Structure 1
Amino acid sequence: MIANILTADFNITIIKFLQQFSNPFLDKLAESITMTGEQYFSIGAILVIYLCINKNLGYRLGFASLFSNSINSIVKNIFKVPRPIGTSGVRSLRLETAGGYSFPSGHTQNASVLWTNLMKNIKKRWIYILGFIMIISVALSRLYLGVHRPVDVFFGFVFGVLCMFIVNGIFDCKEIKTRICGLLILIAVSLIVTIAYGDLDLYKQFGSIVGFFIGYLIEKNFIKFNEKASVTQNMIKILIAVIGYVILELGLKAVLPNLKVFAGIRYFFIILWVTVGTTYIIKKFKLYKLN
């Protein structure tokens, strides 16, 4: 019953309707928009927000994004819905971002986690408008590119919003022990998914969420860096984070065995560098506004 709904003909009808307007300009526009739903875009946004704008919002965004990725993997592996790629009459583009199963849309889920988080925590009209436009645009781009069905992007949005509310609910807890327990549950879910399905990206995500959790505890209790800074100071902070990332990525990749578990270890140290190493340097060298 559920499988029939997920692959029902109306999905393909909607994709074909959108693709009847295809032209080279819209192709490039859709490919550009869909990139804002990719993990690299989210990681960049979270890094800037965490180090330069609002670290508490950065924590909410980081945990929500990582938890959302685990949920997306669970659902995809439960339903195992094939993508519409290869369906008669459907033209599929940017296939390098269309690996694995179709339901739900990871791009739409990523965009929903990011923008609904910003809406909830910033509460500005322009954020509501921009966020709504970006989520809808990413969802439509996945349909236009022929790599997802309408039901995929709809539930990608639903799961993204649910993950946002779960993580924000944890951080809204005033009791520190309750908050820590909530975050440990997120880590446990990520561990279960990693063990159950165990692809390379899941190991990276698990290493990242553990590194983010340890970094959160260390920074909150011992470093307590100030993210408010001048434009020049912010540029230096980002440069420090990126240089450290490149060194750890290349260095650890060269010395550690080429196994999935070591990819998780690599990402653990990369995230720890951002949350502990970079923030320690920020505080040590006073890369923030003093008044």
Structure 2
Amino acid sequence: MAHYWYFNIPTWLFLFQILQALLVESKPNGKIPAVIVFGDSSVDSGNNNFIPTIARSNFKPYGRDFLGGLPTGRFCNGRLPPDFISEAVGLKPIVPAYLDPSYKISDFAHGVCFASAGTGYDNATSDVLGVIPLWKEVEYYKDYQKKLRAYSGLEKANNIISEALYLVSIGTNDFLENYYSFPYTRQKQFTVRQYEDFLIGIAGNFFEDLYDLGARKISLTGPPPMGCLPLQRATNILEGQACVEDKNNLAREFNVKLKSLVEKLNKKLPGLELVYSDAYDIFLDIITRPSKYGKFFRPGLLNSYYSTMQPNSQPLDD
């Protein structure tokens, strides 16, 4: 589990700025009634707490900047991107996990998360840590739709479904947890380029399924600089724990294919507004030049983290 990002507020403020610009361009006066989330640990708000898996973040230091300083199951020191985006579009400041029994359909009507840390497009990826596969996230979404229609009525529920903002962030685990990990089953079946295309095919089917279920406004975030994730750097001893460039190049290559898929689907599916939210360059810039973003940090809070991520970076001023 050491490869997961330890997310922080300034990173996602920049991501939100990108997404916000796309939304404004798309529909400046549109009211977003709900934020609906699919994906992996980058957006899982706690679903893994309620399934039998070791892929959990229900312990400290996770959650140290969340309300009450308690871990919530988010792989984060505080809130995740869907939480910030939900608040920014006038909804509640957190998007609850669908499997959390402390929430009801009245809570989920304006925001719900189906994401599961450790999952990927490939079903075999979810098997590695026994987490929720992407197809199961869709099944939970179908169940949610039934509950929403019973709670809100058919017309209102259908409006929520069609006007909601869908956030999808997934793909990293397919490579790091699956393709490049023992027993290397997918490597025996595919070259890495073939595997990328295999995942793109699954992604296309996933978005068409969401479209058929009523989704129209979707933001897709692809892999960040995978070679800069903590485990990748920690094991890159021969290069002084620098970012692993071949993994970063792979992420860039896969993201190009995701962008092409987005263009293809927007042309194919009438009324679809699928946007690609590029996290790669922002993440890489923050990792390699953290002092550039110092004005967003609480002094001293994240210095130790960034000093481990980028040995040559300058600490922030206290």
Fold shared, TM-score > 0.5 on shorter chain? no
Q: Which has the higher strand share?
A: 2
TM-score normalised according to structure 2 size: 0.30
Q: Which has the higher helix share?
A: 1
TM-score normalised according to structure 1 size: 0.32
| Structure with the greater alpha carbon radius of gyration | 1
